[in-house]
Homo-oligomer: A and B are copies of this chain.
Amino acid sequence: MTFGRDRLHGSLDLLVLSNLAGGPRYGYQILASLRERSGGRIILKAGTLYPILHKLERDKCVRTWWDDATGRDRKWYALTERGRKRMESRAREWLDYAACVRGLLGPLAERLAPPSPPLDAVGK
């Protein structure tokens, strides 16, 4: 199942920021990285990603430069200190909200819970 607009809403910039936390990347690479690392469930369109990157750049959360050394013109993005801070606060908020929803779902969450701890060794 691929996650749509409703699911992604409000967490996309966090996903992009955290993706850049692994080191500088160029746009197209971020698309592929998110697709792969999500198991093909987060498929961003270019028209969705680039405006986000432009905004992060405007906000000085990423620093950018062009590189055409490989023949291909690529625009690279690297997280700034400001970007790292924003990532952390956005992550904190997101995790907090997720915990809150889980709490509200209560037993329903327990029952459907499978995927959260992938290191669940407790035999059923």
Contact = CB atoms under 8 A, between A and B. Distances in A.
A80 to B, nearest CB: 17
Interface residues of A, number: 44
B105 A18 contact: yes
A45 interface: no
Contact of A100 (B3, B94, B105): B3
Q: What's the number of copies of this chain in the assembled complex?
A: 2
Interface in A87-111: 87-88, 91-106, 108-109
A101 B109 contact: no
A44 interface: no
Interface stretch (A47-55, A61-69, A70-78, A113-121): A113-121
Given A1-B93, A18-B108, 19 more contacts: A3-B93, A3-B97, A5-B10, A11-B101, A14-B105, A18-B104, A18-B105, A18-B106, A37-B104, A88-B108, A91-B108, A92-B112, A95-B113, A95-B115, A96-B115, A98-B98, A98-B116, A102-B116, A103-B118
